[in-house]
Structures are given as C-alpha cells and as structure tokens.
Amino acid sequence: MGKLECLYDTLDVLCPMHVILNATGHVVHAGPTLRKLRPDATMTGARFLELFELNRPRRVSSMDQLLETQGVKLHLRFRDEPQTTLKGVLVPSPEDGGAIINLSFGISILDGVRDYALTSADFAATDLTIEMLYLVEAKSAAMEASRKLNQRLQGAMIAAEEQAFTDTLTGLKNRRAVDHILPRMIENDKEFAVMQMDLDFFKAVNDTMGHAAGDHVLQQVAKILVEETRDDDVVARVGGDEFVLVFSNVKRRAILSDIASRMISEIEKPMVFNGENCCISSSIGIAMSGETTPLTVAQLLADADTALYASKHKGRACHTFFDPGMVDEIACAMSENGAKGRAASG
C-alpha cells in the first residue's frame, strides 16, 4: 500500500467528512461520510469551490485565497440541493501546495442525520457527535416513554372520572354527574330543559318479585330512556327509581311533550322477568331553564320536582310542565291530605 493510500485510510477513520485538495483546488479524495451525502455525484476531480459556497469568509474564489483561511472556521454549504450547511477547518499540505479540509455539521447535525440517514458508523469514534446522537436517541426514547405514560395516566383519569359519574347498575349518569353538568349548562346561557321522572308501582315489583326483578326493571327503563334521547342529552339515575334527564338546546314544549309521551308509553309495556310480567308506569315533571327564576340548579330541580308531584296528583303515567301556580295548589293539596289524615286518626 502506498503512502497516499495509507493517508487516505487513516483520514477516513479519524475524520470521515474530510476532503483532500491538490494545488489547483480540486478534490483528490473525499471521506466516506462526505461521499454518502452525495452518493450520485463524483467529488473526486471536482473543484472544491464549485462544490461548496463559502458564506464566511466571503469573497474566496481561488485556491490561494482558500489557503489564506488556514485556522479560520469555515462556514459553507453545498451549492446543489439539498444545500446542507457545514463547518470546516483547513490545514495546508506543504508537500504539494494542496490542503486538507475537515468538515462537520456543527449544530445542524440533527438535520444531517435525518436528511441523510446517518448513523454512528458514519462518524469518528471519538467525535462528540456520537455522544449527541446517543443523547438524542435517549431523549427520544424517554419522550416516547413519557408520552405513552401520559396517555395511560390520562386514560386512567378519564376512566376514574367516568366511573365516578356513572350509575353502576344501569350505566347511566348519576347524581354527581347531574350536579356537575347543570351548573355548566347554566353558565353557557343556552336554553335547556330538565325532566324529573319517578317510576309508579316500582315498590310493588320489589316487594312481590324481589330486588333482582327490580334491578331488571331499572335496567330496562334505562335502555328506553337512552333510546328516546339524543347522544348529547343527559340521562341519569339519581335515586332508587328516580331519574333526571337534561335536554340541551330545546325550547319547544311540543318536542319535550312528544318525548315524554313516548317514554311513558314504552315504560308501561310489561317487562318480563323469569317468565313473569313486571308492570309499572312513570310520571314526569318538566322545568324549562328559560322559565325558571332564579335560574339555579336547586330551583330547576325543585320546579321539575313540583311538576312531577303534579303528575302524580293527576293520576300518574303522565307528564306535566312546571307552572308557578302549582306551588300553591300542591301546598293546598298537601294541607288537605294532612287534615284528612289527622281526622282519620282521631
């Protein structure tokens, strides 16, 4: 092996992004990594200043001027696409008037690795670039692990929140969910409606057929309520046989009346459990946010409950919209019932 070949092999290992120039400024040898940046081009024999454009120092157009940059950091880039920017330092070759220029990516190393699919094998073993690549790889792995962990934590939080707001028997929302949702709907200042529903004769099912039958009835009622409402409506079980439904962006009573009538009709159909019919009905009270004063969660639920009581008083299996006059009527009815009870006991 000749002296030049030994030099080339040595430089290929120590600085794989170098070029060796002759006295006329033409490339006589290029390191393997530099050749990898332009796999379809032949660097050997090309004039260095035709391959690269010097940004600093400027106005370098000849080999003599290039040699004057000895020891100065060179800022250059490829003239053809992609115009990757590089850093370099020149060392003159006293024997033939040529030079050796060692190049590197500098702070654009990550772009270089990405654009040219470089690996640690493309750099000298002692090059700090290797350490940077390891750090970047470790950081990427850590960020990916952190992202997956955050996704799992977020999923767990969502699941926990969903569980906290869900009635385990029916899969509907629970009272906690209603107490969380209604204040937000009031803040949004959009009209909505609240239905309060109570099942008629449900206690009789529990007492005569057992709690398993009662649970079956509640699950069937939940299914009916979900089928008769929209995805963005809220359907919640807030007590043993008590339900609250919240309808967003509904202003017309006729729409709510149709929904209530359909639900009552479906719930009145016998529900079979272990070969026996479970017969119940339902009563509904409806309060409109635009008609509630003051508009608070407590007042909305109180108005819906008052309307529900009116439905029960009318004979059950019906729905009633809240009207302020109901308050006095219900108070009188309760007073009369109390008087009758006292008279009967006396």
Segment 182-240, tens digit of pLDDT: 999 999 878 899 999 999 999 999 999 999 999 999 999 999 999 999 999 999 999 99
Q: Tell which phi-psi region holds residue 71, choosing left (phi > 0), alpha (psi between -120 and 50) or beta.
A: left
- Helix spans in the chain (H): 3-14, 32-37, 48-51, 63-67, 109-116, 128-164, 175-187, 202-209, 211-227, 253-268, 297-313, 326-345
- Residues that are catalytic: 241
What is the pLDDT, as a whole number, of residue 344? 43
Given a contact cutoff of 8 angstroms between Cβ atoms, the answer to whether 106 and 87 are in contact is: yes
pLDDT for 342 beyond 50: no
Tell me how crowded residue 294 is: count the other CB atoms within 10 A of its CB. 7
pLDDT band, very low/low/confident/very high, at 119 (cuts 50, 70, 90) = confident
- What's the CA dihedral at 159, 164, 167, 171 to 10 degrees? -10
Q: How far is CA 173 from the centre of its chain?
A: 22
Higher pLDDT, 117 or 36: 36
- How large is the average pLDDT for residues 20-27? 94
The model's pLDDT over 157-169, given as tens digits with 9 standing for 90+, comes to 766 666 788 999 9
pLDDT band, very low/low/confident/very high, at 58 (cuts 50, 70, 90) = confident
